[in-house]
Every structure is written in C-alpha cells, then in structure tokens.
Amino acid sequence: MVSDAKLRTGAPVKFYRAAPGNTIPAGQGTSDDVGLAGADAAGLPGAATIIAIRAADLVSPCGRVPAGGDRTALVVAGTPGIRAGEQLVFVKVVAVAPAVVRRDGRIQAGGHPADHARLGALERQLDELAGPGVIDEIAARATLTGKVKGEARRAMTAALAIRASVLMSVLPSADYGEVMAALLGDLVLVPWHRPYQVPTGKVLWTWRTALGAAPLAGLQARLLAAVGIEHRDHDYRAVHVGGSGHGLRLGSIDGSVTRVPDSPANREAFGSTGTADDSAPYPQVRDLLASDASTRGTLAVASGPSGGAKAEAEQALLDTMLSACRQIFTADRIWVMDRNFPGADRVARMLATGTHVLIRVKSDLALPRIGAFLPDGSYHSYLTGGPAAGRWCRKVRVIEYDVDVDGQDTGEMFCLITDLCDHVSYPAAQLAAAYAWRWTGSETSLKEAKSAITGAGPSTGPIFRSQAPELITAEHAAWICGTELIRSLARAAARQAAPARKGRLAGHKVQPRQVSFTAARRAALASIRSGAATASLPAPTAEAFHHDTLRALGKRRIVIDRHRHRDRKTKARQAFPGAGRGITTRTATARVSVCQPAAA
C-alpha cells in the first residue's frame, strides 16, 4: 500500500522492503509465472524495493488500536475498503527516519544507517541490565587512533564498530564482511540521502585497530557489574547451601586457556603452554572465570598470558581478581574450586573479604585432625601460611568422601576443605553435593562460551581470530560480553517461561540452565538478521518482537540432571596427527609427469 500524499523534508517516514516477485494472486498456485503475474496485477512501478509511507497516515483497519492477538496489518488512511482477493503488498518496518525530498521528487531517508543498527535481542538485554544507550555512551568517549581521524561521518562509526566486534565474537563462521552484512541487514536497502554500502572487511579491521581494547574492556566491566546486581536481585538458586537462615549462593572459580593465531606478536605477548620451549602450535590466553553455579552467568574475569616471560598462572590471576573484583566476594556466597590449590595465603585473602570457600585439595596436603570426628563424618583441621617470621594458623573443616558409579571398577576419593565449621547448618553431605556443581558452574560454562568461537580463527576448535595482541584483548572482551548477553537472554526467557505441566519438573519454575545456550545464541542472531530491533522502531513494536523471541526461546529446553558419566576421552578418531609449531606450508607449482614406457 503506497501513499500518494505529498511529503515534505523532515516528515517522519516508515521504510519497508517489498518483494514483488513473491506476490501470489488469491486462490492460485505458487509457480514463478503466477507470482510475476500477481506482481504485475499489483501495479508496482519500476525496480524500487522500498516503499515510503508517512507514519501519520498509518491506521488500523479494524477501527481500534491493534492488540497482540488481532493479527492485522496497518493500512494508509483513506484507503478504500479492501476486498478479498485484491493484490496487496505486505511489507515490514525497516526504519523510521526523516524524509529528504529531492528537487526531482525522489524520496530518500535522512540520517545514517549506523544510527539505526542494533544487536537485536542482545542489545535489548544490555539496555535492561546496564541502562539504555551503553554502547553509544562508551563510543562517544572513545579516542580513535591510526587511520581514523577527525569527526567526519563515514561508512563506520565507533558505536557500529563496537557492535560489530560483539557480533563477531558469537558468529565464528562469518568473516568481517559477513558480520557487517548481518549487523546492517535491510538497512542498506533504504535509499539514504547519501549513498551507502556495507563496509568491507578491511574497513572493519581499520576501525577495530583505531578503537583499541579500552572501549570493549569498559563495556565488559559495565556488563559484568550489572550481571552481579541482577543475581543479587533475583533468586536463581538451583542448589541450596546451608539451612534456614544460613543459605548461601554457590559460585565457581576455574581457569582455562584459549588459542590465538600464531603471529609473532601474539606469541611474544601470550606465549603457550604444554611445552618447555614454547613450541606449541598456537599461543594461548589464560582466563580465570568466576561464575554463578546455578545460572553459569559470568560474574568476573581475570586474563593474562599463558606462557613465556609474562606467564600468569591461575593462582596469580586469582590475586588479580581479589584486587580488581572484590565486589563479588560477598558474605552470602560460597566458592567451589578444584585441586589446583591456590595456597593457604590466597585462601586467607579470600576469607578476609568475608566470603566462604569449598576447595578440593590434593592428597599430599597434610591436614592433621583436631579432636574427634563430628557427627556428620567431617572433622576440624588447620592451614598454616605466611613468612617464616610470622606464621599463622587458620581452623578449617575437612570433608572426605568417596564417589562410586555403577559400572565403574573403583570409586574416586574427594577431600574438601571449607571455612564453614558449623556442621549443623552446613552438613557434610550437603557440601559434598554442592561441590559437584563445579562441573556445571565452570566446566560446562566454559564449554558453552567456547562454542561461540569454535572455528573462528585459522584452526578448528575454539580459537580467536585477531593477529595482533591489542585486537586479541578487544576480541576477548567482546567474547565475554557476547556470551554473557546470550546467557542473560536465556535467563530472561526462563523468568517468563511457564513451568512444565508434566514430568519430574512439573510445577517447578524454569531454571536458566534449562534453556539451551545454543538455542539462545541462534535466537539472538535471528533477531539481529531480521532487523526486528533497529533503533528507530516504535517501542511497542520492538517490545512485541522481544517478547516473541523470549517466548519462543523459553520453550527450547534441555534435559538437566541426567547424572551422566564418561571418561575424558574422545569418541571420534582424529583425521590427522598433531603438529607442532614447526609445521610449514609450501607454495609451489605442482609438476605432473605422465608415465611412459621404459626406454628400450
């Protein structure tokens, strides 16, 4: 439906994308010939694919404001009554922008497409968590360097580059150009008053270099702080530690390494693990993540090189986290950690913040028993630390238990220490069960996050794609933001999802970990590609799109608590043997020699 009303410069206009070749006359088939005939019958002139209609001229044909269940299209005011079988052009809103009317009568859009591009459902979650316009606020303070200078409007803006970096971190199969095409979507089809094309991969690389790591690091800090507040405001606990009046939130801390491309700069900056001479095929970044065990939500991250002269082990990263992220170590939270024992002095530093710990220790750590065994089977012991001149001693509680699984020849022995010495409020069996959530809180969380960058770089498996250390730092921050926004989307979907009506979880509220991370990532990408959340869309329209996204995602649930057990071995045989750093690629023309009979 096209309005014949005269448009003036500055009037708000809605732009739509039309697909004339797909219009089908009522009651007929779907062949190409019939579709084209339907387009001719609709009377669409020329090859234009965008229809402009004054926003003020759009009305509801049913005489009232359409509700969510009305399922009606809007029409232009003054349109005669539409009869069944008439050819209509059904279009979707791409953007709302001021009209620019050229002297020859052409209608174009004012503004810049970068001002309309958004990260769909992910940015909606970001705005709800950290306040509206966070990315634009950070971009306005960014200092551009290198080849991007001045304030002239270009194909890119700082805010668009930040959004592209976040999208790139969860779209591993796409190159730079494909990332920009997905982010801008149908906005490039709008006839802007200045011609616009999707920026090339080189343009995005130039802007990423000009931005540096600071804007994305700032976005990560803002987001993770907001996630911490969200977890305090909502009780997501799927596991309870402590009796009535003593309940604690369970967190998990664990480390991991992620590969980066093997450029000389990356190897010098990050080093590698697994070999004494730094001969591993790829350099690696080491991370220490603190997450909520019930939601797998990331609360804090500390990162550093994995090898070389600047190598930082998980223990050193824990020191960094205790200093830089002290706000997460609260008295209402207990942290589970694995056998890479942080040492008595670090445990003392953690406990000095008021938080609590539940740590598995190695068999060679001496834990002398103090007094008799407690009624729950645990016992008291002590840790010692500090310099020789000022040794200290701290009382701890020790829980020892075996885990046996049907079909397994031998069980596994676990030894945990905790500062929770009250065996009545915190029974040993409850703490032993809580420690098992380390796999959910850390191992599964890390595996989910790495699935978003699997195949992103020059090798299979999880790997970053940037060749320069500063770009790796920026990409890493964008990856933390992207994966945490996906989890935030899953949490929002779980909050509004209806409980199951049958099965073992019937009547129970939906837990965030029931919503598939992969499904949440795909839903987020679909919301970006569909253009259903550009900045200029009317608020009710954007809200309806987001509600539909959450409602559909809330149904994408996985089966939890299946108590599956398997040895840490791969089921697939590797196609090629592993190669070290020294493997080379040869560039040469192949020579073909046809076999001939041997000379007589």
Domain boundaries, the chain: 12-110, 223-464
Task: Please name which of 462, 511, 517 lies closest in space to residue 486, comparing C-alpha atoms.
Answer: 517
Q: Which residue is it, tokens 């269940």?
A: 69
Q: Which residue is it, tokens 């790139």?
A: 168
∠ CA 167-172-173, nearest 5°, is 115
Q: In one letter, which amino acid is 292?
A: D
Q: Which residue is it, tokens 């509801």?
A: 60
CA dihedral for 46, 49, 54, 58, sign (positive or negative): positive
Q: CA–CA separation, 440 vs 250, rounded Å? A: 11
Q: In one letter, which amino acid is 187?
A: L
Q: Which residues of 562-582 are buried (b: 16+ CB within 10 A; e: fewer)?
A: eeeeeeeeeeeeeeeeeeeee
Q: CA–CA separation, 390 vs 530, rounded Å? A: 64
**CA 275 → CA 65, 264, 313, 340, 356, distances in Å?**
68, 17, 15, 19, 35
pTM here is: 0.86
Structure-token pair, residue 344: 């008595």
DSSP calls for 367-399: ---BSSPPTTS-EEEEEEES-GGG-EEEEEEEE
| Cβ contacts of 547 within 8 Å, gap of 6 or more | none
Q: In what order do the strands lie in the sheet with 333-337?
A: 298-305, 284-292, 249-259, 333-337, 356-360, 412-418, 392-403, 379-385
Q: In one letter, which amino acid is 288?
A: L
Radius of gyration of the chain (CA): 29
What per-residue confidence (pLDDT) applies to 290? 96
DSSP calls for 488-528: HHHHHHHHHSPPPSSSTTTTSPPPGGGB-HHHHHHHHHHHH
**End-to-end distance of the chain based on CA atoms, in angstroms?**
85
Is 453 within 8 Å of 462 (Cβ atoms)? yes
Q: What is the pLDDT along the chain (600 residues), one digit of tens a residue?
A: 333 333 334 444 444 444 444 333 333 333 344 343 444 444 566 666 678 888 788 887 777 776 666 677 788 887 788 888 888 888 888 888 999 998 988 889 999 999 999 999 999 999 999 999 999 999 999 999 888 876 656 789 999 999 999 999 999 999 999 999 999 999 998 999 999 999 999 999 999 999 999 999 999 999 999 999 999 999 898 888 998 888 999 999 999 999 999 999 999 999 998 887 888 889 999 999 999 999 999 999 999 999 866 566 888 899 999 999 999 999 999 999 998 767 889 999 999 999 999 999 988 888 999 999 999 999 999 998 888 767 888 999 999 999 988 877 778 899 999 999 999 999 999 999 999 999 999 999 999 999 999 999 998 899 999 999 999 999 999 999 999 999 999 999 999 999 988 888 888 899 999 999 999 999 999 999 887 778 888 888 888 889 999 999 999 988 887 777 667 676 666 666 767 777 777 788 888 888 888 876
CA dihedral for 60, 62, 65, 71, sign (positive or negative): negative
| Cβ contacts of 146 within 8 Å, gap of 6 or more | 206, 209, 210
Q: In what order do the strands lie in the sheet with 92-101?
A: 50-54, 12-17, 92-101, 107-109
Task: Please name which of 350, 366, 434, 442 lies closest in space to residue 398, comparing C-alpha atoms.
Answer: 366
Which of these CATH numbers, 2.30.30, 1.10.3470, 3.90.930, 3.90.350, describes 223-464? Answer: 3.90.350
DSSP E strand stretches across 339-452: 356-360, 379-385, 392-403, 412-418
Task: Please name which of 318, 305, 317, 129 lies closest in space to residue 234, comparing C-alpha atoms.
Answer: 129
What per-residue confidence (pLDDT) applies to 593? 83
Structure-token pair, residue 488: 């935030």
DSSP-derived letter for residue 84 is T
